[in-house]
Amino acid sequence: MIIDSHVHIGNTVFFETPEDILIKSMKKYKIDFGIVSSLDGCEYDPDLNIIDPKVSKSQYEVSLQTLQFVKKYPDMFKGLIWIKPDTESFTKDLENFMLSNKDYICGFKTHPYHSKLAITDKKYAKYLEFADKHNLPFEIHTAKDIYSKSEFVYEVAKDYKNINFIMVHLDLWTDNSNAINLLPKLPNLYGDTTWVSTESVLKAIKIAGSNKILFGSDSPIDGINTYEKYQDLLKTLKKELSTDDYENVIFKNAKKIFNILNHI
Ligand SMILES: [Zn+2]
C-alpha cells in the first residue's frame, strides 16, 4: 500500500500534469491512492506576472474540475482545492462546495509563491477559520523565497490548532534544516518528501518522528516516470526503518490526515 499525498492535475501555461498521465504513472509504479490538486489554481506565473484570466480558471472552476476528476476515480483519489487567496477570496459558494462534497474533497492546497502571498497574510484568514472549524488539512508549498518560508507556516499553525499543515518540500532550495527543526515544535505540523533528498527525509524522521512525514511526489510533473526519482527513497526507507515507521510515511499518516480510512 502506497499513498501519494501530493499529486496534480491541470494544465497551466507553465506546467502540464494531464489526468491520463497521472493515472498511468500511478499504475506503472504501483501507487494505490493519491491526494490530488489542480495546478490551474496558480494565480501568478513563475516570473510573478498575473496569469491571463483567458487561460486560467476561477477558484470555483478549479474546485469543480478537481471534484469531477475525483468522482471519476473515487477509489483512487481524494481532492484538495487549490485556493486563489490573492485574486479571489473565501466565498459562500466555496463554503457550500466544501461542506457538500466531503466524501471527495478533504482540504486545501496553497502555493504562496504562485499566489504572491505569505500564509501569514490576512487574505488567508477566512480559509483558515473554515478549515479550523471543520478540521480540514492545509497542504502548503514551502521554499526559500520571501512568500513560502516554513517559519510562516509555523506562525499560523500556532493559531489554528485544528488544522494539520503539511509543509510540502520542507523548504525547497534549502538544506531543509529550518523546516525539519520546526516539525517537532507543534503537533499539527507535518512535512512531505516531494523534491526532498533521501538524506533529509531520514533526518526529518529521526528528529520529528515517522508520524510527521508523508510520502509525496508532485507526479506527473516530470511525466509518466516522475516516480523514478523516488525509487531510491522508497528502497532506503524500507531498509532503514522499522515496519511501523515505514508504513507511517508511505500510507498511515496520509490515511489519518486526509480522512481516507473508508476508501481503501
Ligand atoms: Zn505540487
pLDDT at residue 264 in the model = 61
Give residues with Cβ within 8 angstroms of 198, minimum separation 6: 232, 233, 236, 237
Domain boundaries, the chain: 3-257
CA-CA distance, 184 to 161, in Å (whole number)?
Answer: 14
Q: 111 CA to middle of ligand 1, Å?
A: 8
Q: 220 CA to middle of ligand 1, Å?
A: 10
pLDDT at residue 169 in the model = 98
Q: Give the up-direction half-sphere exposure of residue 123: CA atoms within 13 A in the CB hemisphere.
A: 15
Q: Which CATH superfamily is domain 3-257 in?
A: Metal-dependent hydrolases (3.20.20.140)
Q: What is the pLDDT along the chain (264 residues), one digit of tens a residue?
A: 999 999 999 987 678 899 999 999 999 999 999 999 999 999 999 999 999 877 789 999 999 999 999 999 999 999 999 999 999 999 999 999 999 999 999 999 999 999 999 999 999 999 999 999 999 999 999 999 999 999 999 999 999 999 999 999 999 999 999 999 999 999 999 999 999 999 999 999 999 999 999 999 999 999 999 999 999 999 999 999 999 999 999 999 999 999 997 666
Q: What are phi and psi of 211, to 5 degrees?
A: -80, 5
pTM of the model: 0.96
Instruction: At 153, list the grid cell.
Output: 507556516
Q: Point out which residues pair with 172 in neighbouring strands.
A: 143
Q: Interhelix angle for 59-72 vs 92-100, to 10°?
A: 10
Q: 240 CA to middle of ligand 1, Å?
A: 27
Q: 98 CA to middle of ligand 1, Å?
A: 21
